[in-house]
Amino acid sequence: EAQVTQNPRYLITVTGKKLTVTCSQNMNHEYMSWYRQDPGLGLRQIYYSMNVEVTDKGDVPEGYKVSRKEKRNFPLILESPSPNQTSLYFCASKISTGGRRNSPLHFGNGTRLTVT
Amino acid sequence: TQLLEQSPQFLSIQEGENLTVYCNSSSVFSSLQWYRQEPGEGPVLLVTVVTGGEVKKLKRLTFQFGDARKDSSLHITAAQPGDTGLYLCAGGGGGSYIPTFGRGTSLIVHP
């Protein structure tokens, strides 16, 4: 089954304790992205990657890191989490070759992070 | 960054009513997508519109792309409780592969 898999689904942690949220897709998609979703603010892009070893900042990158060493994986790293990073996080992927730029984004089921 | 404004932000209606959700921008988009997000899940694509004036139907849902490709609407006929969810529009422009999302319309349909 074609899917984007995020882990964990729920995570409660304390300020300053490094954490990683994993994201994997099995559709051979070039493009992958991380979003955070907060009430009233919608989906805001954190980082995205057009292909292996190519990453770029989105609209709200502060406090986050990403890597794209393999095509299928795009982990989100919080080196020193703070309470304002409490949010619902989504990973998404899509084909990004020029002729299919309108292809849909495929989302994971989300990771609900609480930082105390 | 191209901005997409969605209205209304919240909508609470009774089963059987009709409704329209709007997605507006001052920018031109080469395509516009509508997603629905149910509680506890990620957004799922409903439709993509690419031509100004285009109308697409998906059962009781009708999607329209404005002639100038700056706006779109989603009309639901005879809403059902299963239509409950967050409706998001996302626009793509020019050579960008990166869609811009509106803030969403949260719809609740009461039985």
Residue A103 has pLDDT above 90, yes or no: no
- DSSP string of B1-27? ----EEE-SEEEEETT--EEEEEE-SS
**Confidence label for B93 from pLDDT (cuts 50, 70 and 90):** low
Q: How many CB atoms lie within 10 A of CB A85?
A: 20
- Chain A to chain B Cβ contacts (< 8 Å): 57
Is B103's CB within 8 Å of A102's CB? no
Structure tokens at A103: 């292809």
Q: Are B31 and B38 in contact (CB under 8 A)?
A: no
In this predicted structure, what is the pLDDT of residue A51?
Answer: 92
A116, A44, B1, B76 alpha-carbon torsion, rounded to 10°: -150
In this predicted structure, what is the pLDDT of residue B31?
Answer: 87
Burial class of residue B16, CB neighbours in 10 A (0-12, 13-18, 19+): exposed
Segment A4-8 mean pLDDT? 97
pLDDT tens string B68-90:
999 999 999 999 999 999 999 99
pLDDT tens string A12-39:
999 999 999 999 999 999 999 999 999 9
Q: What is the DSSP letter of A84?
A: G
CA distance A112 to B41: 11
- Best of B25, B34, B97 to substitute, by most chain A Cβ atoms within 10 angstroms, is B97
Q: How many CB atoms lie within 10 A of CB B11?
A: 18
Name every residue in B having a CB less than 8 A away from some CB of A.
1, 9, 30-31, 33, 35, 40-45, 48, 50, 88, 90, 92, 95-99, 101-104
Is B96's CB within 8 Å of A101's CB? yes
DSSP-based three-state secondary structure for A8: coil
CA distance B72 to B53: 9
